[in-house]
Structure 1
Amino acid sequence: MNVAVEHIATDQPPDDAKARDLDYGWQSGNQIELLENGEAYFPKVFEAMRAAQREILLETFILFEDKVGFELKDILIEAAQRGVKVVASLDGFGCGELSVSFLRELAEAGVAVQMFDPASKTLGIRTNWFRRLHRKIVVVDAAVAFIGGINFSADHLGDFGPEAKQDYAVQIVGPAVADLHHFALAQSGRQVRTRRGWRRRPQRPAPWSTSEEDGLVRLIYRDNVQHRDDIEEAYIHALSKARTRAVIANAYFFPGYRLLREIRNAARRGVHVQLIMQGQPDVLLAKLAARMLYDYLLKDGVVIHEYCQRPLHGKVALVDDDWSTVGSSNLDPLSLALNLEANVLIRDRAFNQQLYESLEALARNHCQTMPEKRKPRLWLWRLTVGFLVFHVMRHFPVLTGWLPAHKPRLKPIESPAHDV
């Protein structure tokens, strides 16, 4: 049997999404629940999928054939067999090791599997490294949505061991789910319809909500066409308005100068700015790159913590007592200039406080704090290397754009022999 796996173009969104220039505004009246790590996330999302009546839309960067991946597969198959429309959009690099038998079982049950930029290995090495589908979104029956940084893999569970990831997602119920549903449908290439219970596409939003009410949610995203800087601009705008506190917990931290300057400026005007970085990284280069920026930030009063209990995979932040963001985007060149990402902005005091308490406990109990005045040992070497690394990393997206693997392609994959 042929396994029908659709192939989505690398750089360009589907025609429907590209034509509409999707912009989403602030939606009020939402219930938002913080889900920390797989122990909180997987039971919630699996429960929603098991209760699905009409539709499951799923996007993920990583799906592994482990206990989490097999449970997800069984749930999707059972849903499809009872008549639920199931669309699973997977990244060709992050899901590149999935077996043909795994995909075949999904396809035979009626699950529509889409692989973003799959590529065969060259000399045993995968070449489709950059411009990934890095979003993690689940929408069930256009009634409940999940978004964050958690993949469908067992390394998001504590019993995985010392390499288990620390991460965050949110469950949303309310009007903002219609925006996530609309977005997920459009990005999957499915026809976006307006029907009872589904909201029409919102108008272009104001960049900042001035409402005093809670429960506000706005979907933002980046692509390689019309929304290249939306997530980075949201961080910059929030930090520019910060009055009392700002906390950023990010796995891969190497932002551009404008965001670095806004972080530093906030600290200079008396905002208590804390950064939580990887101290035990799954990618050593991420730690080295982030440390190149420490001196620049520490001298102006930014407090930097390195989380040392296990790898940090979170992509969350908060400003003052009501603004927060949770999503898939790191603050590095891959996420800010190459990958397809999605975050939600949240204006809700209770959620902000819950996230703050979680991050504060993380910083207090499981982090080491960088000293304000670090020893100037090898300062000339660090200055030279830091300068070179910074500029290489900032021009890295342009350089990777020249690689042949990044040319947009739209090609159906029909044969199970294809190495996906």
Structure 2
Amino acid sequence: MAKPKAHSSSSRDAALIRSAQEVLSGKSKKGALARLLPFIGPAIIASVAYMDPGNFATNIEGGAKFGYELLWVILASNLMAMLLQSLSAKLGIASGKNLAEHCRDQLPRWMVWIMWVVAELAAIATDLAEFIGAALGFNLLFGIPLFWAGLLTAVATFVILALERYGFRPVEAVISAFVGVVAVSYLIEILIVKPPLGTVLYHLVTPHFSSAESVLVATGILGATVMPHAIYLHSALTQNRILTRNPRKQRLLFRYELLDVFIAMGAAGLINMAMLIMAAATFHTVGLTNIGTLEQAHRTLQPLLGHAAQWFFGISLLASGLSSTSVGTMAGQVIMQGFIHRHIPPWVRRLVTILPSLIVIGMGADPTQTLILSQVVLSFALPFAVIPLILFTRRRDLMGALVNRPLTTALASLAGGLILALNAFLIYRLLLGA
């Protein structure tokens, strides 16, 4: 039975693993930050799913229509995402297997095949939308026609994925750099728009809806929060990264991974808040409440804030698209290898997913509508990741010393149930044409 290949292909990786083992053994004499660094990375890659081009569309819509009102929704959804991603990381650490592998081992074969097909469709839909988002970034920044921008996106993602042959650290570094570009771009935009700090803080901690439509937009933000491919991927990123079967070391390793989750998901939450704040301060305050597409948002920024803000928006969209489409390809590989133990080179998978993306672009499909459609597909796939994750992490025979406490399972079940209910509501509304 094929096993996922351990990430130990470079001397840099080996040095990092030795450093981590020294920390876990209590032999490291380094400072607190230096001890933390070997454990940082998996959550950063997983967190890319929470600031992909689909988030741009949802957050900008929420800010343009309702100002700062829905900031608390982003905070609540981010806390739930932190909880579920930490469970995914813990599953890989405790068992040495990822979520897809556990599904294959623990569930009936007919169910495994259904779950694999659903997970693959979700990965393909996500990859399609993120590929188009990156192509749109090239288009908005440089005026490159979408089709040729799509080919340029393909080349860029091939280069990023090729770094895997040099170990996991180079890939983590590139993805982290892209996340940093998105964060810096929005920090600069926030400094340009100068939002009212008191109003921002008030809406951050005050749940409030001004209309039925704001409830629907909030449902869109919250219901599409947790990405199924990120849950599958996070457990795979931790399963072979730093190996230990010692219960005490596992608990310490998980504490460091919790810090990784807190830092990465916290940054993702702040970036999402910045998107909404920027839209609220720029569009809502001047009465532009019907910003329907990313192109429209990009075009409208120039007369309101100047050319610099327009450029930073395009740069952040491009960085988001390139990082998320690379991570989507990695997640698709984990899903195929875990469920059916079949491995194809990442570049082959990337080549296969390029074709439908270029067809969609060539047909002239609206990029923003494609992003929305991808969220619908993800909504269908979400239960197939969240429910098994909670069920497996509450089992002592699989988790050992890292088994969920009853309170953790209860909170995860509550968060998962709420997210699944909201996704079901979103699908219902979309089927009605709302």
Measured against the shorter chain, the TM-score band is: under 0.3
More strand by share: 1
TM-score computed with the length of structure 2 as normaliser: 0.23
- Greater percentage in helix: 2
The higher relative CO (CA closer than 8 Å, separation ≥ 6) is in 2
Relative to the length of structure 1, the TM-score reads 0.24
